[in-house]
């Protein structure tokens, strides 16, 4: 029989493959459709295709080719959580036809997909994403059909579309979880085989060779998968049936199957390698439970070193995520206080020529008019280095551009406690710590805005520089800084550039700020009224309340923290498992010497000094590496040429040396305790035999 730990590990393989498949499908569905299809992205319209024409053409194509086509549109009011499919089924017998009555077969609840008949399509501009539920040849034929009515510059995403494997390749938390699971499997399987060295020695004594023993073990595992393993799989299917009625089951099974195959291949490699190590020991010592010291130790440390590093990296991520969640939770009241205030979504289905020649002037001018009439709030963040002299260290302050309407809705105080009110000039509001650098900031603002200014207000002579109160916090409405990927609801004592409504910014800059979430409308009906008519309906395809965006962002952070917490527990388990493996190998190889030295009066530290020095050297090197890594990261993020800055709530990299010391203390303590238990066992067994 195989050791229980090996059967337990293979049970975990089945469970982990199912868990990872479930998590990947949830993320997959939140981004795109999971039903196999080919995406056709239309970005140009010659102006001859209108909605009736596209309806007729798509209906004709689906009927002639017996293939279904769906036009995907984000929801106007909640594009982050709802999408709409305008479906033209190829035939009443097609699986997609049932969606019109039964709804889209959603796997989970990460994204709501509402299905409508294609004839209900009421978009003025038919550009965007079309999903062809057929072969690649049928997708190409659909592109040709669209070109007949003036829809061109189509891009078929069949070769580059998002796949479930991308979540394990590019998603940091998912591939970390997969790596930890593989390390855990290697450690557990390898340890199980090494601990079974005595039984393998008996088989070798009976004339069994390496191949025969390995084949025997694989047959035992096959029996396990046909019995208990199948029961675990059946339990997973039952749970999935209770969760969603087996919706998207075949895709779930495909992902789980490939992941299980990966686990089995890695497990087989670990099993065969460990079995090979046991065969390097002569039979008589192996019958006493001895194992080859050097190859077994090298194998154990090959898993132990990456496990220790993973604990540090995952722990850093957990602390950073916990800080981000706490900051977002504390600031949710500000988003809720914004009420119906909404940001707009700019369409990406526009080619470059039209974007520059038509979209930016149209959208930018519309935003400018909304700004001038007081219907829009500007809260645009810029990088600190945008207004500081070139070559200076990365600034440690934020920069935000606001308009008069912002000052009406948000309170910014002077040192005397008076509120700054709307004005007719460009003003730079500086915190007390920066007021002595007003000349540099004035020149920086002129450099930032002067090139596109048509009002004549952006000049060093006309710009006013005024102080703000100490500890001033500025609400960002959830906008982001260019180049960054995190939301910072409040800026602590930033440089504030207050602009008159609609007087300074260019159309291009207005449009650019809209893509950063920096253009918000207190009254969403203003947006609804405008984008209901072309050409705005062509370029603005949605809006979302800032409180909804903040809630979505918060929910995403919570999901990340859950997965990171799982990774932390798993990586700690792997580190402790490798610690046990190292100690077991050490005591198995040197059992007689340990007992002899014990009865000779040697101290515990003296008996095990080789292992303790090895562990101490490993953790010392680990602390040194973490310190070097921390210093390198701090220097890199301090470089103003680096386009991505570090989140203020995620500066855990500076704590990594302290975390490394804590991890080392935990690892060393556990190793000593494990060694003490094994030492006592050797002494007790040796005494009884004597």
* DSSP-assigned states of every residue in 573-612: HHHHHHHHHHHHHHHHHTHHHHHHHHHTT--HHHHTHHHH
Cα–Cα separations (whole angstroms), residue 444 to 398, 460, 463, 582:
14, 10, 11, 59
DSSP per residue, 553-579: HHHHHHHHHHHHHHHHHHHHHHHHHHH
- The reported pLDDT for the residue numbered 134 is 86
Class of residue 208 by CB neighbours under 10 A (exposed 0-12, middle 13-18, buried 19+): middle
Interatomic CA distance for residues 546 and 520, integer angstroms? 8
Assess whether pLDDT exceeds 60 at residue 648: no
Assess whether pLDDT exceeds 80 at residue 642: no
pLDDT interval class at 38 (50, 70, 90): confident
Q: What is the pLDDT of residues 254-313, one digit of tens each?
A: 999 999 999 999 999 999 999 999 888 888 877 877 778 788 888 889 889 999 999 999
- The reported pLDDT for the residue numbered 160 is 43
Spell out the alpha helix ranges (H) of 279-426: 283-287, 293-337, 352-354, 360-372, 404-409
Interatomic CA distance for residues 185 and 275, integer angstroms? 15
- In this predicted structure, which of 39-48, 346-355, 396-405, 623-632 has the lowest mean pLDDT? 346-355
Diameter of the chain by CA atoms? 99
Where is pLDDT greater, at 251 or 392? 251
Assess whether pLDDT exceeds 70 at residue 60: yes
Interatomic CA distance for residues 541 and 572, integer angstroms? 46
Interatomic CA distance for residues 31 and 79, integer angstroms? 11
Edge-to-edge, what's the strand order for the sheet holding 38-45?
112-117, 82-88, 68-74, 128-133, 38-45, 151-156
Give me 127's structure tokens. Answer: 């550009």
Assess whether pLDDT exceeds 80 at residue 350: no
Which residue shows structure tokens 């998912």? 174
Of 430, 432, 451, 438, residue with least CA distance to 497: 430
DSSP per residue, 118-134: GGG---S---EEEEEES
Q: Over range 654-674, report the average pLDDT.
A: 93
As a residue count, the chain comes to 690
pLDDT interval class at 658 (50, 70, 90): very high
Q: What is the pLDDT of residues 559-616, one digit of tens each?
A: 889 989 999 999 999 999 999 989 988 888 888 888 888 888 898 999 899 999 999 9
Interatomic CA distance for residues 488 and 575, integer angstroms? 35
Q: What is the pLDDT of residues 452-480, one digit of tens each?
A: 766 778 888 889 999 999 988 999 999 98
- The reported pLDDT for the residue numbered 159 is 41
Give the torsion through C-alpha atoms of 44, 49, 51, 57, to 10 deg.
-100
Average pLDDT in the chain: 86
- The reported pLDDT for the residue numbered 110 is 75
Q: Over range 393-404, report the average pLDDT.
A: 88
Of 315, 318, 314, 21, residue with least CA distance to 176: 314
Q: What is the pLDDT of residues 88-139, one digit of tens each?
A: 998 888 889 899 988 898 888 778 899 999 999 887 777 888 999 988 888 8
Give me 667's structure tokens. Answer: 């690892």
Under DSSP, is residue 72 helix (H, G, I), strand (E, B) or coil? strand
- The reported pLDDT for the residue numbered 235 is 95
Where is pLDDT greater, at 356 or 54? 54
Assess whether pLDDT exceeds 70 at residue 249: yes
Which residue shows structure tokens 């709802």? 82
pLDDT interval class at 633 (50, 70, 90): confident
**Is residue 84 a contact partner of residue 73, using CB atoms and an 8 Å limit?**
yes
What residues does CATH 3.30.1240 cover in the chain?
Answer: 33-156
Q: What is the pLDDT of residues 219-238, one digit of tens each?
A: 999 999 999 999 999 999 99
343-355 burial: b if 16+ Cβ within 10 Å, else e: bbbbbebbbeebb
Sign of CA dihedral 303, 308, 312, 314: positive
Q: What is the pLDDT of residues 260-272, one digit of tens each?
A: 999 999 999 999 9
Cα–Cα separations (whole angstroms), residue 270 to 15, 113, 198, 264, 276:
19, 44, 18, 10, 10
- The reported pLDDT for the residue numbered 645 is 57
Rg (CA), the chain: 32
Assess whether pLDDT exceeds 50 at residue 677: yes
Q: What is the pLDDT of residues 181-206, one digit of tens each?
A: 999 999 999 988 988 888 888 988 88
CATH class of 33-156: alpha beta
Give me 545's structure tokens. Answer: 């309340």
Edge-to-edge, what's the strand order for the sheet holding 427-430?
464-467, 427-430, 495-499, 399-403, 377-382, 519-521, 342-346, 540-545
Q: What is the pLDDT of residues 163-177, one digit of tens each?
A: 787 888 776 788 888
Q: Over range 618-628, report the average pLDDT.
A: 94
**Is residue 151 a contact partner of residue 17, using CB atoms and an 8 Å limit?**
no
Assess whether pLDDT exceeds 60 at residue 689: no
Give backbone dihedrals phi and psi of 308, rounded to 5 degrees, phi first.
-65, -45
Under DSSP, is residue 348 helix (H, G, I), strand (E, B) or coil? coil
């Amino acid at each position: 029989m195989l050791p229980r730990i090996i059967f337990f590990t293979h049970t975990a393989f089945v469970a982990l493959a199912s868990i990872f498949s479930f998590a990947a499908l949830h993320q997959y569905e939140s981004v795109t459709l999971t039903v196999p299809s080919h995406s056709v992205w239309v970005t140009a319209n010659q102006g001859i295709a209108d909605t009736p024409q596209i309806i007729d053409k798509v209906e004709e194509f689906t009927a002639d080719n017996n293939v279904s086509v769906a036009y995907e549109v984000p929801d106007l009011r909640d594009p982050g959580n709802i999408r709409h499919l305008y479906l033209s089924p190829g035939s009443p017998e097609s699986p997609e036809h049932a969606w019109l009555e039964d709804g889209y077969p959603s796997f989970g609840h990460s994204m709501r997909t509402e299905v409508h008949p294609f004839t209900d399509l009421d978009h003025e501009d038919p550009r965007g994403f079309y999903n062809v539920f057929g072969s690649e040849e049928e997708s190409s034929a659909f592109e040709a059909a669209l070109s007949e009515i003036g829809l061109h510059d189509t891009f078929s995403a069949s070769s580059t579309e998002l796949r479930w494997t991308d979540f394990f390749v590019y998603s940091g938390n998912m591939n970390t979880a997969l790596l930890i699971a593989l390390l855990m499997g290697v450690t557990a399987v390898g340890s199980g085989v090494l601990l079974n060295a005595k039984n393998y020695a008996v088989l070798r004594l009976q004339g069994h060779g390496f191949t025969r023993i390995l084949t025997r073990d694989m047959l035992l595992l096959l029996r396990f998968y046909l019995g208990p393993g199948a029961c675990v799989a059946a339990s997973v299917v039952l749970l999935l049936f209770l969760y969603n009625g087996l919706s998207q089951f075949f895709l779930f099974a495909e992902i789980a199957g490939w992941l299980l195959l990966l686990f089995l291949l890695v497990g087989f490699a670990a099993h065969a390698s460990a079995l090979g190590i046991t065969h390097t020991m002569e039979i008589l010592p192996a019958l006493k439970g001895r194992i080859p010291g050097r190859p077994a130790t090298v194998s154990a440390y090959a898993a132990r070193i990456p496990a220790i590093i993973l604990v540090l990296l995952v722990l850093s991520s957990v602390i950073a995520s916990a800080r981000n969640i706490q900051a977002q939770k504390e600031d949710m009241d500000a988003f809720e206080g914004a009420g119906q205030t909404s940001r707009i979504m700019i369409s990406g289905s526009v080619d470059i020529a039209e974007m520059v020649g038509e979209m930016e002037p149209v959208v930018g001018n519309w935003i400018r008019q909304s700004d001038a009439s007081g219907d829009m709030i500007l809260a645009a963040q810029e990088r600190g280095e945008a207004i500081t002299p070139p070559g200076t260290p990365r600034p440690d302050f934020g920069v935000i551009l606001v308009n008069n309407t912002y000052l009406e809705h948000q309170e910014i105080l002077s040192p005397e406690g008076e509120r700054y009110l709307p004005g007719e000039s460009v003003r730079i509001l500086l915190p007390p710590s920066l007021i002595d650098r007003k000349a540099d900031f004035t020149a920086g603002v002129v450099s930032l805005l002067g090139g596109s200014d048509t009002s004549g207000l952006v000049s060093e002579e006309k710009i006013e520089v005024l102080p703000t109160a100490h500890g001033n916090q500025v609400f960002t409405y959830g906008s982001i800084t260019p180049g960054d990927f995190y939301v910072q609801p409040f800026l602590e004592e930033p440089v504030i550039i207050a602009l008159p409504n609609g007087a300074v910014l260019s159309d291009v800059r207005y449009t650019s700020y809209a893509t950063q979430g920096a253009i918000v409308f207190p009254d969403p009906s203003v947006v609804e009224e405008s984008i209901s008519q072309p050409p705005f309906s062509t370029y603005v395809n949605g809006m979302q309340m800032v409180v909804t965006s903040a809630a979505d962002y918060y929910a995403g952070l919570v999901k990340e923290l859950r997965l990171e917490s799982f990774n932390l527990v798993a990586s700690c388990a792997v580190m402790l498992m490798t610690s046990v493996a190292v100690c077991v190998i050490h005591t198995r190889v040197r059992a007689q010497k340990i007992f002899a030295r014990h009865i000779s009066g040697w101290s515990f530290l003296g008996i095990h000094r080789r292992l303790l020095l090895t562990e101490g050297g490993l953790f010392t090197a680990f602390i040194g590496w973490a310190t070097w890594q921390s210093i390198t990261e701090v220097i890199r993020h301090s470089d103003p040429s680096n386009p991505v800055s570090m989140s203020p709530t995620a500066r855990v990299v500076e704590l990594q040396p302290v975390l490394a010391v804590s991890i080392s203390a935990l690892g060393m303590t556990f190793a000593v305790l494990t060694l003490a238990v094994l030492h006592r066992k050797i002494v007790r067994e040796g005494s009884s035999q004597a």
